[in-house]
Structures are given as C-alpha cells and as structure tokens.
C-alpha cells in the first residue's frame, strides 16, 4: 500500500516528499535545493521519522538547482538513514550534480570543538598528553623530511641526475645573504657596542678593563656572532621559505609541478637549503667583523683604548680556532633553518590562514632547534677541549 506524505509548504521552489512501500522508505527531493531553502529543508528533514529496519532510497532526480548546502543536506540524510538502521540503496541526483555530491562526500569532516570543561587535573593531563602526541608526530614527520632532503642534497651535489639549477642557487644566495647585510651589520655593530659597554662596566670594579677585549673576542667569535646571525636569518629567510612555498601550495603550483613529473624537493627545497648553507657562514663572518668594530668603538669611547692597542690585545686573546668554532656551526644552523622553513611550507593547507600559522611556527621551530644545536655544540667542544 502506498502512503504519500507531501510537504506542507508546496508553494516553495524546493519540495520534500516521503513515500512508503511497506518496509521501503523513499525520500523524493525536487525543485531548487539551494542555500536560500536550506533552513526550511533542514527543519523538515529533522522532523522525518527515519527509524526502521528496511531499505531506503533518496530520489533527487527531479532537482532543478543544487548547491553545496543542498548537497550536504542530502548526504546528511543519507547518514541519518543508516544511523537509524536502514540500508540506503542509492542516492540519485541529476548527472551534472554527481561530481558535487562526490566532492562533498569525500571532503574531510571538521572535528567539533570540545565542550569547555571546568578544568582540573584531568583536563591538565589531557592537554599534556595531546601536546606530547602532537610534538612526537611533528618530530617524526620532520625526521622523515630530514632524511629525504639529506639524500636529495647529496645526490644534487655528488651524483646529480640533472644539472644543478645554478640560477636558482645564486638567487637564493642573493636573497638570503646579500640582502641581509644591512640589517645584520647594524644589529651586530650595536650588539658589539652593548657587550663592550656592559663588560667594561663590570670589569672596571676589578681594574681589569683591558680584558673587555678578551670578553668581546671570545664571546662574539665563538657563540654570539653565529647565534645572532642564525636567529636573524631564521626570522627573515626561514619565514620567507615557508611563505613562498606555502603560497605555491595554495595556488596549486606544487600540484602542477608534480603532475608534469618534477621532483618538488629537488626544484624547491635543495636550492634554498644549499643557498642558505653557503650564505650563512659568510654572514657569520661579516657579523663577527661588525660586532668587533662596534666593540672597538665603544672601548675607545669609554675606556680610551686605541685601535692598535685593541688589536694587540685581541690577537693575544683569540686564536684561529676561536673563529673556526663559530664558523663550523653556521652550515649546520643553515641546514636546519632551511629544512624547517621548507618543511612547514610544504605542509600548508589550501587557505591563507594556514600560510600565516605555519610561517610563525617555522620561525619558532627554527630558533628553538638552533639554540638546542648550539648547546650541543658547546658540550661537544667542551668535551673535545676545543
């Protein structure tokens, strides 16, 4: 026996009808299922009694217009029928709208925001656990990317499958090195002034102002010069790597490169990493020189130490190994900064918000890894008595 329950509001363009044939439930959709009709259709669909253990069909073959809101309502009804215990035989729509239904059906469903709780130890440990798992997943993904880029870099240098893209390499050296000279020189000069002034202020109490030069030379050449250079480059070039690659991800340029068979790591990542590894040691040496000039100027202004006296004292305070200890760290720091910047850029989702979020994350991660690596170098050089 056929039981037809027509929609009460037949005057609207979009219609919804239910038909029952014994245990079979048919839901017939017609008209224009668009966003303007969505509130009314949503209310009517929620009033339907979908319970039962029989079969069900959703017939949308008579739909005139269908947008994403209407498609979502049809798919939600499909899921509600299955949740109510019915087997849905098929969901039919006009052929032109089948790709839309498939796209909405395959789209990732956003996780609902958890209901805010009152707090307490349970929530505290939940947050710690979730944060720990996220950090481990991030570390695992970064470690995998490190292995891939290490292999790609060695192959590009020692066993190239094609000619190394020198124009791209030179462009990256210019972008990360040459254009950073003004800001890095100014900050390094001022840093040398500050260290010399503070050191002289403390050593004056013991009548040992001349050892300000020793303090300045050892601290700048071994630690502070390369560290401040890496931090500036991480904030300047590392973020630029993430933003540029992320923008390419948003604009689907990376998908196009993969479609035509290009190796994304070789084309986008390797030139940036190699260019930064070449530029950062040179920037470090430049920063050391500028910091020493700032310190020499402050020593002359505050302690009346002339430049020849400054150079003689500096020559006795440092050796060539003091300079090399700082320069050896630079390529390692550069590799980590380039690695993290490109890694986060390739993880950008297809929206502008993700670009800004991961750009910020890449700067934080790069600076964190640089400081951790610098601490590891300090321990290593202490053990080796360098």
- Run of H or E residues at 384: helix 352-384
pTM of the entire predicted model: 0.67
pLDDT tens string 288-329: 999 999 999 999 998 888 999 999 998 888 888 888 998 999
**Partners of 2 in the beta sheet?**
21
Please state, in angstroms and rounded to a whole number, the distance separating the CA atoms of residues 45 and 64. Answer: 19
Q: Helix (H, G, I), strand (E, B), or coil: what is residue 251?
A: coil
Is the separation of the CB atoms in 52 and 19 below 8 Å?
no
In the block, residue with structure tokens 């947008």: 67
Please state, in angstroms and rounded to a whole number, the distance separating the CA atoms of residues 86 and 67. Answer: 26
pLDDT tens-digit profile, the chain (386 residues): 344 444 434 445 788 888 888 778 888 998 888 988 888 888 888 888 887 778 888 998 889 889 888 888 999 888 888 888 888 888 889 888 888 888 888 764 555 555 555 556 778 888 888 889 988 988 888 888 888 888 877 777 776 666 667 788 888 899 998 999 999 999 999 999 999 999 988 888 888 888 999 999 999 999 999 999 999 999 999 999 999 999 988 888 888 888 888 888 888 888 899 999 999 999 999 999 999 999 999 999 988 889 999 999 988 888 888 889 989 999 999 999 999 999 999 888 878 888 888 999 999 999 999 999 999 999 998 888 87
Query: Is beta strand 15-21 parallel, antiparallel or unpaired with respect to 2-5?
Result: antiparallel
342-345: long-range pairs with CB below 8 Å, 24+: 342/149, 342/241, 342/242, 342/245, 342/268, 342/269, 342/272, 342/273, 343/141, 343/142, 343/145, 344/242, 344/246, 345/241, 345/242, 345/243, 345/244, 345/245, 345/246, 345/248, 345/249
* Domains of the chain with bracketed CATH: 2-106 (3.30.750.24), 151-384 (no CATH)
């Amino acid at each position: 026996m056929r039981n037809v329950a027509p929609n009460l509001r037949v005057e609207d363009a979009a219609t919804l009808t239910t038909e029952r044939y014994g245990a079979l439930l048919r839901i017939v959709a017609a008209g224009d299922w668009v966003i303007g009709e969505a509130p009314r259709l949503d209310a009517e669909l929620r009033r339907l009694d979908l319970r039962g253990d029989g079969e069900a069909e959703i017939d949308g073959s008579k739909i005139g217009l269908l947008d994403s809101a209407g498609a979502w309502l049809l798919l939600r009804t499909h899921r509600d029928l299955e949740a109510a215990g019915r087997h849905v035989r098929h969901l039919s729509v006009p052929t032109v709208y089948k790709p839309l239904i498939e796209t909405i059906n395959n789209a990732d469903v956003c996780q609902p925001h958890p209901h805010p709780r009152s707090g307490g130890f349970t929530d505290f440990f939940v947050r710690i656990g979730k944060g720990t798992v996220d950090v481990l997943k991030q570390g695992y993904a970064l470690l995998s990317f490190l292995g891939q880029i290490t292999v790609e870099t060695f192959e590009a240098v020692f066993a190239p499958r094609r000619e190394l893209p020198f124009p791209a390499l030179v462009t990256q050296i210019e972008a990360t090195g040459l254009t950073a000279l003004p800001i890095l020189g100014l900050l390094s000069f001022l840093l040398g002034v500050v260290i010399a002034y503070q050191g002289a202020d403390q050593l004056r109490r013991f009548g040992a102002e001349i050892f300000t030069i020793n303090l300045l030379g050892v601290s700048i050449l071994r630690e502070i010069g390369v560290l401040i250079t890496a931090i500036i480059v991480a904030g300047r070039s590392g973020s630029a790597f993430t933003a540029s690659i992320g923008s390419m991800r948003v604009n689907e340029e990376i998908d196009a490169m993969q479609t035509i068979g290009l190796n994304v790591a070789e084309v986008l990542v390797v030139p940036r990493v190699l260019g930064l590894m070449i530029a950062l040691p040179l920037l470090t040496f430049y920063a050391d020189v500028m910091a020493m000039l700032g310190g020499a100027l402050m020593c002359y202004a505050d302690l009346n130490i002339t430049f020849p006296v400054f150079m003689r004292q500096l020559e006795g305070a440092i050796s060539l190994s003091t300079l090399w200890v700082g320069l050896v760290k630079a390529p390692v720091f550069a590799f980590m900064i380039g690695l993290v910047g490109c890694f986060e850029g390739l993880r950008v989702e297809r929206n502008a918000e993700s670009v800004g979020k991961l750009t910020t994350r890449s700067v934080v991660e790069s600076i964190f890894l640089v400081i951790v690596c610098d601490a590891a170098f300090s321990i290593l050089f202490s053990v080796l008595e360098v």
